[in-house]
Structure 1
Amino acid sequence: MNGVHSTLAEKHSEPPLSSASKKLTWRRLLGLAIAFTGFVVLVHQFWLYMGEHPPVANAFMAGGVAALATALGTLPVVFSQRLSERTQDTLFGFGAGVMLAACAFSLIIPGLAAAKTSGAGAWEAGGTMGAAILLGGLALLLMDRWLPHEHFIKGVEGRQLSDPRTLRRTWLFVFAIALHNLPEGLAIGVAYAGTDAMRAGALAMGIAIQDVPEGLVVAVALLAAGYKRPLAVGLGMASGLVEPIGAALGAVAISLAANLLPWGLGFAAGAMLFVISHEIIPESHRKGHEVWATGGLMIGFVLMMLLDTALG
């Protein structure tokens, strides 16, 4: 019996770490400590920078509000609420309409005005904005092709989590959400750094309004695809975190080079137009609810137009 107990004890006892394993562990801990320290220093420097540059601080806070709106939209999923496919497609259309109006009234028109103010003629201003819009769309196209990610909603739908490939696709889906929300953050940042506060506030408000149903749709779609409720809600909430980062980057870029304002506004508009055409509208139309999606788009467009013209 003693021999049996001795054998079992040997099986369950963990082998001592070798000196090489200990060195590797300490190196990892040291690397994590260095990375964390660098992150803290970076955050501190950015905080000081925002204190000296109010437009960047305002843009970052507005992006944070948009991220909070996205998180707010996931709350019905926490309480086990589900949406019909028709409602999801209607909300997708609504978001597309808000983004379309934001492109036109909050980005392209102010960009044309900024180009003309800098001395450009009508054709030159139009050419500048046109080139910037195409560059924004091209940038998102290249990111869509080169960065590993899972296509917006339909890339995960219908797969079971028992498939290891689906587990690996979770982070790819996170990257896809980041690609989707980055243009919105950039648009907020460029607006706060280069246009008046009222117009920038209207843009931020419109984006936050459409982020509420967007967060809900993302969480519901992940839940329908088989993800557990906490993970679906967590990813839905996290989907908006890129917006304050993008807003800060956009504001910093325009603050450093004010003459880039027309290019920045046009670039953000082009990136948003790419997302609308490449992701949102096809997703809203592929389940046979085109009429509802189109109705949502028109309502979203009109709402954003009223916000922009009334507040801007």
Structure 2
Amino acid sequence: MSTLVFVIIVTAIAGVGGTGLGGIIGALFKKDSNKRVSLLLSFAAGIMLSIVCFELILGALYPENSSSQTNVFIVVGGIIFGVLLIYVLNYLIDKKSNIELAHIDKNHPKTADELDELIHSDHLQKHINNKDSKTKLFVAGIVMASAIALHNLPEGMTIGASFISDVSSGVNINTRLSSGIIMAFLIGFHNIPEGMSIAVPLISGGMSKPKAIFVTAMSGAPTVIGAILGYVIGDIGPIGLSLSLSFASGAMIYVVFGEILPQAILMYKSKLPTFFIVIGMLLGLIIIYI
């Protein structure tokens, strides 16, 4: 089995399997599960921050296959590019969907304050309720899929870049617990509450549980595309690996601070999410360096 095929299989398990499992759990929850989903999202955000701070950025600064440190400004530039790209794409998606929703006005929070707004399932549901044409339903579905993909693409890039980092340093990823495997495990674990955040509003909007679980699981597919990109870019050389890791870091930083944490806090206004963030960070640190 080639290394790239192995990476694709592992990433598919983490992406599709993780979000699918979250979808199943979400299907078992009642509609008033905001507190539980909020705490799980906070916990997952903590894990993602551990991945970024203790693994990705350090890997970008000190690539395994390089004898010298990467210029810090290259890493900073990659992080900034990752943040800005995801922000711009997210802004374009919001601009497309929000104008068609009556409840989105100048008094509405600039960030999502409901689960369905986070993934724009409210946009899709509006067209379904209006019994609009198949074309409008298809476009609304693409908008929702794009919103979800923005979360999953950078996650996949971290897995792909971690695997190519292992290969470059001479690690046999088929015979030992590599950093790529650890990264896939952490992201797969993080995808469980993310899958819940996708399935719950779909089911609340009237979608059948089996269909919601299937849609949720398939939403993890962009993770595989991200893994291929991260692997191919990282395979260019030390600079390519640093750029891949730093871009993924920036993208995930924006997703965590611009989407997941505001959503978690709005869903459950309490100090408790803060403690779950810290617990997630500590658990991520332990798993990375154990």
Q: Same fold (TM over 0.5)?
A: yes
TM-score scaled by structure 1? Answer: 0.73
TM-fit CA distance, 1:129 = 1.4
1:280 aligns with 2:229: no
Quickly say closer, same or farther: Cα 1:80–1:115, change in 2 above 3 A: closer
Q: Distance in 2 between matches of 1:260 and 1:118?
A: 15
Map 1:110-189 onto structure 2 (within 5 A).
Answer: 110-114=59-63, 117-120=66-69, 125-146=71-92, 153-154=116-117, 155-157=120-122, 161-164=128-131, 167=137, 169-189=140-160
Map 1:141-290 onto structure 2 (within 5 A).
Answer: 141-146=87-92, 153-154=116-117, 155-157=120-122, 161-164=128-131, 167=137, 169-195=140-166, 197=173, 198-290=178-270
User: Could you report, residue by residue, the CA deviation over 1:127-159 in whole angstroms, capped at 9, with x for unpaired residues?
Assistant: 221111111112212322345765773244596
TM-score scaled by structure 2? Answer: 0.78
Unaligned runs of 5+ in 1: 1-49
Task: Specify which structure has the higher proportion of helix.
Answer: 1
TM-fit CA distance, 1:306 = 0.6
Question: How many positions carry a matched residue from both structures?
Answer: 255
Q: Distance in 2 between matches of 1:65 and 1:272?
A: 20
1:109 aligns with 2:109: no
State the secondary structure of the residue aligned to 1:227.
Answer: coil
**AA paired with 1:177?**
I
State the secondary structure of the residue aligned to 1:256.
Answer: coil
Unaligned runs of 5+ in 2: 98-111
Residue matched to 1:41: none
Give 1 or 2 for the bigger CA radius of gyration. Answer: 1
Q: Distance in 1 between matches of 2:208 and 2:249?
A: 35
Identity of aligned residues (%): 26
TM-fit CA distance, 1:84 = 1.5
1:100 aligns with 2:49: yes
Quickly say closer, same or farther: Cα 1:80–1:303, change in 2 above 3 A: closer
Q: Distance in 2 between matches of 1:287 and 1:143?
A: 24
The higher relative CO (CA closer than 8 Å, separation ≥ 6) is in 2
Quickly say closer, same or farther: Cα 1:94–1:256, change in 2 above 3 A: same
